[in-house]
Amino acid sequence: MAGQVATGSRSGLRSALPLLVPAYLWLTVAIFLPLSAMVFFSFMTELPLPGKAWSFTLDNYATFFSQPLYLTLLAASLRLGLEVTLWCIVIGYPAAYVLAKVFRGRSREAIFLLVILPFWSNGLVRIFSWAMVLREGGILDSALNAVLPFNINIDLMYSYPAVIIGLVHSYVPYMVLTCYLTLQAIDDSLIEAGRSLGASRLQMLKRVIIPLSMPGLVAGAALIFVPVVGSFMEPRILGGRTGTFYGTVIEDQFVAVFNWPLGAALSFILLAVVLVILALASPVLKRAA
d(CA 170, CA 128): 12
Q: Which window, 53-61, 104-112, 193-201, 243-251, contacts another protein (CB under 8 A)?
A: 193-201
Q: Which window, 11-19, 29-37, 202-210, 264-272, contacts another protein (CB under 8 A)?
A: 202-210
Q: Which window, 131-139, 188-196, 262-270, 271-279, contacts another protein (CB under 8 A)?
A: 188-196
Q: How many C-alpha atoms does 202 have within 13 Å on its Cβ side?
A: 0
Q: Let me know if 225 is exposed, middle or buried by CB neighbors in 10 A (0-12, 13-18, 19+).
A: buried
d(CA 81, CA 87): 10
Our finding on whether 193 is near another protein (CB under 8 A) is: yes
Our finding on whether 198 is near another protein (CB under 8 A) is: yes
**Is the CB of residue 265 less than 8 Å from the CB of residue 57?**
no
Report the b/e string of 265-285 with b at 16+ CB within 10 A.
Answer: bbbbbbeeebeebeeeeeeee
Our finding on whether 189 is near another protein (CB under 8 A) is: yes
Task: Out of 15, 28, 200, 282, point to the residue binding another protein (CB under 8 A).
Answer: 200
d(CA 3, CA 121): 36
Q: Is 7 helix (H, G, I), strand (E, B) or coil?
A: coil
How many residues in the shown chain lie near another protein by CB under 8 A? 17
Our finding on whether 196 is near another protein (CB under 8 A) is: yes
Closest approach of another protein to the CB of residue 91, in Å: 25
d(CA 103, CA 116): 16
79 versus 206: smaller Cβ distance to another protein: 206
200 versus 282: smaller Cβ distance to another protein: 200
What's the sign of the alpha-carbon dihedral 152, 156, 161, 165? positive
Task: Out of 194, 239, 247, 261, point to the residue binding another protein (CB under 8 A).
Answer: 194
Pick from 72, 60, 19, 92: which is nearest to 257 by CA? Answer: 60
Task: Out of 211, 255, 257, 275, point to the residue binding another protein (CB under 8 A).
Answer: 211
Our finding on whether 190 is near another protein (CB under 8 A) is: yes
Task: Out of 199, 273, 277, 285, point to the residue binding another protein (CB under 8 A).
Answer: 199
Our finding on whether 203 is near another protein (CB under 8 A) is: yes
35 versus 212: smaller Cβ distance to another protein: 212
Closest approach of another protein to the CB of residue 186, in Å: 9
161 versus 211: smaller Cβ distance to another protein: 211
Task: Out of 187, 279, 280, 284, point to the residue binding another protein (CB under 8 A).
Answer: 187
18 versus 198: smaller Cβ distance to another protein: 198
The dihedrals phi and psi of 230, each to the nearest 5 degrees, come to -100, 10
Helix or strand run (H / E) with residue 254: helix 246-255
DSSP 8-state code for residue 45: S
Our finding on whether 212 is near another protein (CB under 8 A) is: yes
For another protein, the binding residues (CB under 8 A) are 187, 189-190, 192-200, 203, 207-208, 211-212
